[in-house]
Amino acid sequence: MKISKLWSTVFLHVFLLALAGCQETESIVAVDGIYLDEICNQTENGISINFESMGLNSLRSKFLSSSHVIALNLRGNGISTIARDAFARLPNLCYLDLSLNPSVQDVIYANFPVKLKVLVLDSTVQNYDGYRSYDSGEWPTISRVYPEVKYLYLRSNKLSKFNYRWKLLFPNVTHLFLSHNNFHEESISSIPESVTHLYLENNNIKTFRIQDFPNVVSLALDGNNIEYINSNYNNPFARDGNNLEILSLGNINIRKIHPDAFSYMNNLKSLNLSHNQISDLDTKIFSRTLHLETLFLNHNELSTIPDVCGLPQLESLSLQYNKIRSVSANTFCDTMTLKYLNLAGNQISNLQFDKFENLKRLEVLDLSHNILHELSADWNLSLNLLTDLHLNENYFEDLDHLYLNNTSALQNLYLLNNPIKTLNTDSLRHIKNLNLHLSYGVKCDNILS
């Protein structure tokens, strides 16, 4: 009786959704900002239905019937049983989210629509560990194969291996989300070759060997306790790691990185080493990652800006919350392509801006939360493209101390929480359309008219 009552609620909702015109697919953002219209390539107006946290406890046979439904969200219900043909009347379903239904009996037993491209099973298959081991190879059940599934989410499920049955079920999966499980280095070999985007944050991986991920383009290993990055220059297998473009190694508890650690990652474009205890980086460390465009080293213990001179394509360097006190003479060389430089949250009191002379392409400079009283008079030479200058939480008292004469492209100047008492904007006269961000209470003299 309870079930039928629930279902009348559900059908009422469908009806109301229909009256409201439903949401068009373009406006739907699925988990982690994935846009359905990019993946599902729907030409007609698809319908997306949201049954999140509605207390459903079972999905009956053919419970919904529509060829227009392309996305169905069933997160966070108490679903325990799903009829084998529950989804039989949803031929165009592309996105199905069954996550956070921890007591579901055997979710894979259901026949999902063959056009499914995104399947979200976070915190949904975890309870199998107890009585039917994944690793025994008996589970999941193979009732049908889903060659169209490209995005598979299995986060927070206590999984320690991606067994061959998963591979058979989803032979063409490209984006595999396995964060918050029990994967360790030995179980990584079970990851299918079709996977190009692999998310393994917060598992039990202790050694990172690039040769274990020959086809992977984007890899996240944050939050593992990695003791050792093995990209041994003399190891021929390491050369297979050539496809990696995006690597995130944040919060892996490392202090020291071997100079050869990234030697065979010569297609690397983005590297994240934030939230570690790195206090120095060998000058050779980036000697082979010549395509690096983005480097994150936030929340480490660096006291100088690392040598990035040899990186001809570096556009973005982020060093927030380190222990940098000054910018030394050879930091930036004349080939720098840097557009974004973030030095917020350091202990910089003195900037020799002649050292910034080579940052001719810089567009955004963040120096917030340092101990600066003035910028150097020399910096006017080079920063002609600078549009955003962040100087919040410093000790500036007067705009004249910024020497902004030649930063004519400036659009946003942030000066919140500085001891500026009176604002003399004479020195900003030449800048058109400047947005000045100041703390409340600053008196304005000579405001531009």
Binding site for ligand NAG (CB under 6 A): 41, 43, 147, 171-172, 222, 248, 250-251, 272, 274-275, 296, 377-378, 380-381, 400, 403, 405-406, 427, 430
Minimum Å gap between C-beta 193 and ligand NAG is 10
Specify the residue, 181 or 274, whose C-beta has the smaller distance to ligand NAG.
274
Which residues, in sequence order, are bridge partners of residue 422?
A: 443
Minimum Å gap between C-beta 46 and ligand NAG is 12
Helix %, strand %, coil % of the chain (to 5): 15, 15, 65
Q: Are strands 23-24 and 47-50 parallel, antiparallel or unpaired?
A: antiparallel
Minimum Å gap between C-beta 191 and ligand NAG is 15
Strands, E, within 231-315: which ranges? 246-248, 270-272, 294-296
Whole-angstrom distance, CA of residue 232 vs CA of residue 277: 22
CA 84 to chain CA mean position, Å: 36
Minimum Å gap between C-beta 22 and ligand NAG is 21
Specify the residue, 90 or 221, whose C-beta has the smaller distance to ligand NAG.
221
Whole-angstrom distance, CA of residue 287 vs CA of residue 278: 18
Closest to 272 (Cα-Cα) out of 309, 305, 228, 318 = 318
Q: Are strands 118-120 and 207-209 parallel, antiparallel or unpaired?
A: unpaired
Minimum Å gap between C-beta 91 and ligand NAG is 16
> In Å, how far are 194, 253, 288, 312, 432 from 316, measured between CA atoms?
30, 23, 18, 12, 26
Specify the residue, 171 or 214, whose C-beta has the smaller distance to ligand NAG.
171
Specify the residue, 26 or 400, whose C-beta has the smaller distance to ligand NAG.
400
Specify the residue, 275 or 355, whose C-beta has the smaller distance to ligand NAG.
275
Minimum Å gap between C-beta 68 and ligand NAG is 16
Closest to 281 (Cα-Cα) out of 312, 313, 317, 333 = 317
Minimum Å gap between C-beta 250 and ligand NAG is 2
Residue 36, SS3?
helix
Q: Any idea of the CA torsion for 41, 178, 257, 260, to the nearest 10 degrees?
A: -60
* DSSP type of residue 171: T
Minimum Å gap between C-beta 377 and ligand NAG is 4
Amino acid identity at 242: N
Contact 355, 379 (CB under 8 A): no
Specify the residue, 80 or 267, whose C-beta has the smaller distance to ligand NAG.
267
Minimum Å gap between C-beta 24 and ligand NAG is 16
Specify the residue, 232 or 243, whose C-beta has the smaller distance to ligand NAG.
243
Structure tokens given for 84: 């084998």
Which residues, in sequence order, are bridge partners of residue 318?
A: 296, 342
Minimum Å gap between C-beta 401 and ligand NAG is 9
Question: What are the residues whose beta carbons fall under 8 Å from the beta carbon of 355, sequence distance 6 or more?
Answer: 327, 328, 329, 331, 332
Specify the residue, 333 or 377, whose C-beta has the smaller distance to ligand NAG.
377
Specify the residue, 169 or 210, whose C-beta has the smaller distance to ligand NAG.
169
Structure tokens given for 95: 């996105």
Residue 400, SS3?
helix
Specify the residue, 227 or 400, whose C-beta has the smaller distance to ligand NAG.
400
Contact 296, 318 (CB under 8 A): yes
Specify the residue, 179 or 230, whose C-beta has the smaller distance to ligand NAG.
179
Which residue's C-beta sits nearest to ligand NAG?
250
Minimum Å gap between C-beta 31 and ligand NAG is 16
Contact 219, 198 (CB under 8 A): yes
